[in-house]
A and B are shown apart, each in its own frame.
Chain A
Amino acid sequence: MFRRLPDANEATVEVTIDGRSARVRPGDTVAAALLSAGVLASRVADVSGAPRAPYCMMGVCFECLVTVDGAGNRQGCLVPVSPGMRIDTQHGKREAGR
């Protein structure tokens, strides 16, 4: 669905998305990395159960909430990826302590 523009910098970093290894671009946000890796639904809404995807990509809409390195409800569009980062899509309510 999403395709990258040609870019001279072909460097990648390795992260895990829902436990699977994925190579993403340094400088990407978590939300951009998910979309480019083909993971369109970053969470399942805790009230309606509907799948939700990153939308505004600028910190406003809170649709891209994901769990980053074990911390839930992080705004994926505001967190840059880093090598070894653990990214997990969210399903249902956040639990305190996770």
Chain B
Amino acid sequence: MSLLAHEADVAVVGGGLVGAAIAWGLARTGARVVVLDEGDVAFRASRGNFALVWVQSKGLGMPEYAAWTKRSSDLWGGFARELWEQTGLDVAFGRPGGFHLCLSEREVENRAAMLARLHNQPAMVRYDYEILDAARVRAMLPRVGPEVAGASYCPLDGHVNSLRLLRALHVGMQQRGAAYLADHVVETIEPRDGGFRVTTRHGEVRAGKVVLAAGNGNARLGPMVGLDVPVRPQRGQIIVTEKVAPFLDYPVVTIRQTDEGGVMIGDSVEEAGWDTRVGAGVVSAMAQRAVRMFPLLGKLNVVRTWAALRVMTPDGFPIYQQSLSSPGAFVATCHSGVTLAANHALVLAPLIANGEFPADEFDVFSPRRFDVPATA
């Protein structure tokens, strides 16, 4: 890129799934968009995620998040179709419903109690879910092992090929005129002349608005525009097997067969800072549990294991906020960049183009919720 200033209506900082979905959605409204991304060595949760579009069990403690999640799940089919029609890329979205399998009666009881608490919250969005006994699980998932004692099932759950999703968003946003600048780590953001001056090692960008969608990088960037974004990395590890003939018709929260045939296994949660190393202990525990759920997995060859970093807030819920001190600067950050991609593209981006997050719907996602002093 030249050292001349890029000019844009909106500069999106971050080219992962959150940034790319918002940039695609902004370009779709006709805005001139520039996306400033890191290089290949970025932490990039978008390339390490599990690719579920997941609804069940989300929102305990914030029913508005459950509603926001369900809304994205409902928009996902049309979103995937539009991406396919525009780019010719099939992101392999499917919503057959999803399972959370339990390996003992006690796990089933705990699961049922948790979901009852979730759905008993005042103002909880209504949707169907079921607790299934072992026989009903076996009728839908004939390959489960004898230890499976039951499950929760929600018809809104699904999955997607998230690597192809990232590619489709990048292809699609550039087809609509967005400029994508890789290896442009943002160094400073300054309010200037009613807009923003964003500097990188390779030059600067002038934009009317700026959107922080840089995942864990938002913690560093937020204060430049008066936003407090308390996010931290949280490690997850994933196993993928060789490709096999389709045998699993539904995603399970910890096991899914991709459209290409590989079986992904993963559900670990670790506080490990910025360490992305894979640990044999965690991987073997995940594999053992997966084989108890589906014994036929035991013979498959593992092709690869990896770790990636979630983008985690103190309460686990997303942050969406426009800066009060620097209006025109927005932050969007969450750990469910796949599930919420449809919302980010089709709901959030038009609001950003319009310059406002409506208070009645979005105040709940403000980081001001973390400022409440803890009671003694």
Query: Which chain A residues have a beta carbon within 8 Å of chain B's beta carbons?
Result: 46, 71-73, 92-98
CB distance from A33 to the nearest CB of B (A): 21
Chosen A-B contacts, 13 in total, with CB atoms closer than 8 Å, are A71-B299, A72-B299, A73-B301, A93-B245, A94-B245, A96-B244, A96-B245, A96-B247, A96-B296, A97-B143, A97-B247, A97-B296, A98-B299
Q: Which residue of B lies closest to A71 (CB)?
A: B299
Q: Which residue of A lies closest to B242 (CB)?
A: A73
CB-contact partner of A95 in B247, B263, B297, B301, under 8 A: B247
CB distance from B82 to the nearest CB of A (A): 29
CB-contact partner of A97 in B243, B261, B299, under 8 A: B299
Within 8 A of A (CB), among B231-245: 242-245
CB distance from A46 to the nearest CB of B (A): 8
CB distance from B309 to the nearest CB of A (A): 30
Instruction: For the complex, give the distance between the alpha carbons of A98 and B242 in Å.
Output: 13
- A95 / chain B contacts, CB cutoff of 8 Å: 244-245, 247
- B299 / chain A contacts, CB cutoff of 8 Å: 71-72, 96-98
Query: Which chain B residues have a beta carbon within 8 Å of chain A's beta carbons?
Result: 143, 242-245, 247, 261, 263, 294-297, 299-301
Instruction: For the complex, give the distance between the alpha carbons of A71 and B242 in Å.
Output: 13
Most interface-central of A46, A93, A97 (chain B CB within 10 A)? A97
Instruction: For the complex, give the distance between the alpha carbons of A95 and B241 in Å.
Output: 12
Determine if B301 and A96 form an interchain contact, defined as CB atoms under 8 angstroms apart: no
Instruction: For the complex, give the distance between the alpha carbons of A96 and B296 in Å.
Output: 6
Q: Which residue of B lies closest to A62 (CB)?
A: B242
Per CB-CB distance, the 4 closest pairs between chain A and chain B, nearest first, are: A97-B296, A93-B245, A96-B296, A96-B244
- A46 / chain B contacts, CB cutoff of 8 Å: 243
Determine if B242 and A94 form an interchain contact, defined as CB atoms under 8 angstroms apart: yes
Instruction: For the complex, give the distance between the alpha carbons of A64 and B74 in Å.
Output: 45
- B263 / chain A contacts, CB cutoff of 8 Å: 96
Determine if B296 and A93 form an interchain contact, defined as CB atoms under 8 angstroms apart: no
- A72 / chain B contacts, CB cutoff of 8 Å: 299
Determine if B297 and A96 form an interchain contact, defined as CB atoms under 8 angstroms apart: yes
Q: Which residue of B lies closest to A98 (CB)?
A: B299
Instruction: For the complex, give the distance between the alpha carbons of A29 and B243 in Å.
Output: 24
CB distance from B251 to the nearest CB of A (A): 16
- A92 / chain B contacts, CB cutoff of 8 Å: 245
Instruction: For the complex, give the distance between the alpha carbons of A73 and B299 in Å.
Output: 10
Further contacts, 16 of them, CB under 8 A, given A93-B261, A96-B245, A97-B299: A71-B299, A72-B299, A93-B243, A93-B245, A94-B243, A94-B244, A95-B244, A96-B244, A96-B263, A96-B294, A96-B296, A96-B299, A97-B143, A97-B295, A97-B296, A98-B299
Q: Which residue of A lies closest to B300 (CB)?
A: A96
- A71 / chain B contacts, CB cutoff of 8 Å: 299
CB distance from B239 to the nearest CB of A (A): 14
CB distance from A24 to the nearest CB of B (A): 24
